[in-house]
């Protein structure tokens, strides 16, 4: 039985009103905008913490709380309330969002201090926080949908924050449109849910699935639709193309939205819908496939990127691939996916902030080929980034090790060929991750100075370094804390009702220690290759060499993802549009005008019968008489 809480709405309302206040307040609030924004976010974090402790105070089975606000939509039996629901799964997200969010707010105060529109930036960040919280707190798919699009909007606004640059504006649009494709999936999912179960709330659908109201086909369709939504939002294959471009936004945005929180919404959606995927096996397999492909896809792109943010973005894509893959493994995977999600939130956000710090010191330069030897100039950044690096490549005892190792483990345990394939992919991914992250490390902080003239790298102010430090601490410790005694898994257990039974009790393909060893070996290989290529003594050209293999070129072009989209959708779409414009002008309107001019032609033709000759008029009379006579003759025949 779930309890209720009257606090939940404030989680959303405070940042939301703050955002509105900042936007409507205008320039008058320029001086205090960032403070208000940060306070709003912190307030939400505090509420989140309060709720968390309140939750811990309840029995594991009764930890969910709801708050019914008002009836949102009710037509016939389509009844959606504006209601909030907080359980352990949401709680993870609430804390991640508000916590990391607040840190990034703080970081942004300094990062954006020279920006004319900082107030607006904070408004958008608050808007994002509110939308993301709605996403995870909504008790129905439709409420989730609102948050879902809300974060999409915030993402659009933030990516395009400097939209006076056309490329940034385009990136924002691209992100939104790609997300829209995913939204189609979510829309369809809601419809299927409504038609099948008569309800769109999570509990309603879960009950419906349990009661067996839906056919397997319907469930698989529902699952596929949900997956489509997740793919769009989480930049998974084949809708991954927007994420790289999304790095156009200010770096804190990349850290918060495009690393820690929003892009993981897909994982949340799948986990939240575990009751569907648990029975929709085809959809579940699809989830696995998507996760596996994206994992490698992102990793491969990451190897070729010289732009530090894009390299990190590719890494994000890849890491989310891990999470998706984990969710695709069924009950055993959800918790590990969540765990990886949280640890990833820490270390990836930290690394992004570090990247931001580097850029801050390097005149917003993003090309790693123009970095080098920065460790001396920005020690804090180096350390925090380095800790994040160790976490992501999965060096024990950093956070990433615990979470990623588990995923590799359960992937191998999936059984049979599937297990071996998935396991190999995850291991390969780990090796590549180690390679390209080492590459980033080496190119940025080690080696020779390759800076542009006039660059004076310096450490960032403390408002920026403190969040980085906090996140670094998280990257170091989170994995260990979570994993201690399966604490995290147990925390989430009531949500997933996983007959978890244990991990460990089931027969493993390989013993955990062997898996860890394999993983570490893979990491070691990756790191070694990176050192061999980019390590001490290796000269890194400041311009990317062009005499590289086709594969490198392809990888640099994001594995041709944009080219494919362009060839498959944009071009034909543009042609279709042009064709339709012509059809509209010539055919449809033309037909109408044609009827008009035809009438006119007929008119001027028929008009000629009016010759002005009396005799021809008389002839008409005779012809008419003839016709009438003939007609009447015919009638009487």
Segment 133-152, which members bind another protein (CB under 8 A)? 142, 145-146, 148-150
Query: Residue 568, interface with another protein (CB under 8 A)?
Result: no
N-to-C CA span, the chain: 91
The first and second tokens of residue 25, run together, are 């307040």
Q: Please report whether residue 567 would count as binding another protein according to CB under 8 A.
A: no
Task: Give residues 62-81 in contact with another protein (rule: CB under 8 A).
Answer: 70-78
Site residues (CB under 8 A) for another protein, limited to 353-372: none
Q: Which of 376, 452, 576, 586 forms a contact with another protein (CB under 8 A)? A: 576
- Can you list the positions of beta strands (E) in 391-522? none
Nearer to another protein, 59 or 637 (CB): 637
Instruction: Report DSSP state, residue 58.
Output: S
Question: In a 3-state reduction of DSSP, which class is residue 198?
Answer: coil
Q: Which of residues 56, 567, 568, 602 is near another protein by CB under 8 A? A: 602
User: Whole-angstrom Cα distance, residue 99 to residue 107?
Assistant: 12
* Cβ closest to another protein, residue 550 vs residue 614: 614
Contact status: 9 vs another protein (CB under 8 A): no
Phi/psi at 7 (nearest 5 deg)? -90, -25
613 binds another protein (CB under 8 A): yes
Looking at the Cβ atoms of 194 and 322, the one nearer to another protein is 194
Distance between CA 154 and CA 157 in Å, rounded?
A: 5
Which own/partner pairs from 21-26 qualify as long-range (CB within 8 Å, at least 24 positions apart)?
A: 22/119, 22/120, 22/122, 22/123, 22/126, 23/120, 23/123, 25/119
| Residue 6 in contact with another protein, rule: CB under 8 A | no
**CB of 142: closest distance to another protein in angstroms?**
7
Cβ proximity to another protein: between 57 and 166 the closer is 166
Residue carrying the six token digits 């003239």:
453
Using the rule CB under 8 A, is 564 a contact of another protein?
Answer: no
Select from 82, 230, 269, 468 the one that contacts another protein (CB under 8 A).
Answer: 82
**Exposed e or buried b per residue across 593-615, where buried means at least 16 C-beta atoms within 10 angstroms of its C-beta:** eeeeeeeeeeeeeeeeeeeeeee
Cβ-based neighbour number of residue 578 at 10 Å: 10
Q: Out of 190, 304, 320, 349, point to the residue binding another protein (CB under 8 A).
A: 190
Instruction: Note whether 624 binds another protein by CB under 8 A.
Output: yes
Residue 467: CB minimum distance to another protein, A: 29
Q: Which is nearer to another protein, 122 or 194 (CB)?
A: 194
Which span (60-68, 97-105, 249-257, 627-635) binds another protein, by CB under 8 A? 627-635
Smallest distance, Å, CB 103 to another protein? 27
Q: CA 157: distance to chain centroid?
A: 15
* Positions 479 through 538 that interact with another protein (CB under 8 A): none
Distances (CA, A) of 453 to 370, 456, 556: 10, 9, 26
Quick one: which of 383, 386, 400, 387 has its CA closest to 480?
400
Q: Which of 192, 227, 312, 432 binds another protein (CB under 8 A)?
A: 192
Site residues (CB under 8 A) for another protein, limited to 233-272: none
CB 436 within 8 A of CB 311: yes
Is residue 623 a contact point for another protein (CB under 8 A)?
yes
Q: Which of 13, 39, 188, 560 forms a contact with another protein (CB under 8 A)?
A: 188
Contact 257, 155 (CB under 8 A): yes
List 514, 517, 580, 586, residue binding another protein (CB under 8 A): 580
Closer residue to another protein, CB minimum distance, 53 or 70:
70
Residue 191 binds another protein (CB under 8 A): yes
Does 28 help bind another protein (rule: CB under 8 A)?
no
Contact 559, 297 (CB under 8 A): yes
Sign of the dihedral defined by the CA atoms of residues 326, 522, 527, 484, in that order: positive
Nearer to another protein, 161 or 436 (CB): 161
Q: Is 636 among the residues that bind another protein (CB under 8 A)?
A: yes
In what helix (H) or strand (E) does residue 73 lie, and over which residues does it extend?
strand 65-75
61 binds another protein (CB under 8 A): no
Residue 612 lies near another protein (rule: CB under 8 A): yes
Position 114 contacts another protein (CB under 8 A): no
Stretch that binds another protein, among 57-65, 485-493, 547-555, 605-613 (CB under 8 A): 605-613
C-alpha torsion angle, residues 228, 230, 232, 237 (rounded to 10): -80
CB 270, CB 324: distance < 8 Å: yes
Based on the shown chain and the rule CB under 8 A, indicate whether residue 610 belongs to the binding site for another protein: yes
In this complex, which beta carbon is closest to another protein, that of residue 35 or of residue 623?
Answer: 623
Q: If you search the block for the tokens 């495009």, which residue do you land on?
A: 258
Shortest spacing between CB 248 and another protein, in angstroms: 12
CB of 381 to another protein, least distance (A): 32
* Contact with another protein (CB under 8 A) among 37, 99, 160, 372: 160
Backbone angles phi, psi at 320, to 5 degrees: -65, -30
Tokens for 182?
A: 């995913």
Contacting residues for 230 by C-beta, under 8 A, at least 6 apart: 182, 185, 236, 265, 266, 267, 269, 270, 287, 324
Nearer CB in complex with another protein: 178/478: 178
Q: How far apart are CA 272 and CA 137, in angstroms?
A: 11
Q: Could you tell me the smallest distance in angstroms from the CB atom of residue 200 to another protein?
A: 9
Q: Which span (4-12, 193-201, 392-400, 530-538) binds another protein, by CB under 8 A?
A: 193-201
Q: Closest Cα partner for 44 from 83, 100, 3, 87?
A: 100
Q: Give the nearer residue to another protein in terms of CB position, either 59 or 614.
A: 614
Q: Give how many residues touch another protein by CB under 8 A.
A: 86
Cβ atoms 118, 58 nearer than 8 A: no
């Amino acid at each position: 039985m779930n309890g209720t809480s009257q606090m939940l709405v404030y989680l959303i309302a405070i940042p939301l009103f703050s955002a509105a206040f900042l936007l409507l307040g205008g320039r008058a609030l320029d001086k205090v905008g960032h403070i208000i924004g940060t306070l709003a976010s912190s307030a939400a974090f505090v509420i989140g913490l309060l709720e968390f402790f309140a939750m811990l105070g309840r029995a594991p089975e009764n930890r969910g709380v709801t708050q019914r606000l008002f009836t949102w939509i009710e037509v016939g039996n389509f009844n959606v309330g504006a209601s909030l629901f907080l359980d352990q799964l949401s709680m993870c997200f609430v804390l991640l969002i508000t916590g990391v969010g607040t840190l990034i707010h703080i970081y942004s105060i300094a990062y954006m201090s020279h920006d004319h529109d900082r107030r607006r930036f904070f408004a958008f960040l608050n808007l994002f926080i509110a939308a993301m919280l709605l996403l995870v707190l909504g008790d129905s798919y439709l409420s989730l949908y609102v948050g879902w699009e809300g974060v999409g909007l915030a993402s659009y606004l933030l990516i395009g924050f400097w939209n006076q640059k056309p490329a940034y504006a385009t990136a924002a649009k691209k992100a939104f449109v790609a997300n829209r494709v995913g939204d189609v999936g979510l829309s369809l999912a809601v419809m299927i849910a409504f038609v099948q179960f008569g309800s769109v709330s999570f509990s309603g659908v879960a009950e419906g699935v349990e009661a067996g109201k839906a056919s397997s086909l319907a469930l698989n369709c529902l699952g596929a639709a949900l997956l489509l939504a997740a793919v769009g939002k989480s930049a998974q294959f084949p809708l991954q193309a927007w994420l790289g471009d999304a790095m156009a936004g200010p770096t804190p945005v990349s850290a918060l939205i495009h690393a820690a929180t929003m892009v993981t919404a897909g994982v949340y959606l799948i986990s939240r819908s575990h009751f569907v995927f648990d029975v929709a096996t085809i959809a579940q397999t699809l989830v696995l496939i998507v996760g596996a492909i994206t994992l490698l896809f992102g990793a491969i792109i990451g190897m070729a990127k010289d732009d530090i943010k894009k390299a990190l973005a590719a890494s994000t894509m890849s890491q989310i691939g891990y999470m998706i893959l984990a969710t695709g493994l069924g009950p055993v995977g959800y918790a590990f996916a969540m765990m990886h999600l949280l640890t990833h939130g820490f270390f990836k956000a930290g690394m992004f902030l570090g990247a931001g710090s580097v850029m801050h010191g390097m005149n917003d330069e993003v090309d790693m080929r123009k970095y080098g030897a920065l460790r001396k100039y920005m020690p804090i950044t180096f350390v925090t980034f380095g800790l994040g690096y160790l976490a992501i490549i999965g060096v024990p005892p950093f956070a990433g090790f615990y979470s990623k190792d588990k995923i590799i483990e359960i992937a191998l345990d999936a059984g049979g060929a599937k297990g071996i394939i998935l396991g190999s992919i995850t291991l390969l991914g780990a090796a590549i991750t180690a390679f390209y992250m080492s590459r980033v490390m080496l190119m940025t902080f080690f080696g020779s100075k390759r800076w542009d003239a006039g660059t004076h790298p310096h450490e960032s102010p403390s408002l920026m370094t403190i969040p980085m430090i906090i996140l670094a601490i998280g990257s170091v410790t989170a994995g260990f804390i979570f994993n201690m005694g399966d604490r995290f898994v147990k925390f989430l257990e009531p949500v997933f009702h996983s007959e978890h039974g244990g991990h460990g009790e089931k027969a493993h393909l390989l013993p955990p220690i062997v898996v860890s060893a394999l993983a570490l070996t893979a990491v070691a290989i990756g790191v070694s290759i990176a050192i061999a290529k980019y390590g001490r003594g290796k000269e890194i050209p400041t311009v990317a060499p062009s005499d590289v293999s086709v594969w490198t070129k392809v990888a640099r072009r994001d594995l041709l993802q944009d080219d494919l989209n362009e060839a498959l959708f944009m071009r034909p779409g543009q042609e279709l549009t042009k064709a339709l414009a012509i059809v509209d002008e010539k055919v449809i309107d033309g037909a109408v005008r044609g009827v008009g001019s035809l009438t006119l032609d007929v008119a001027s033709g028929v008009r000629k019968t009016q010759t002005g000759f009396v005799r021809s008029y008389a002839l008409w009379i005779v012809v008419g008489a003839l016709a009438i006579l003939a007609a009447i003759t015919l009638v009487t025949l």
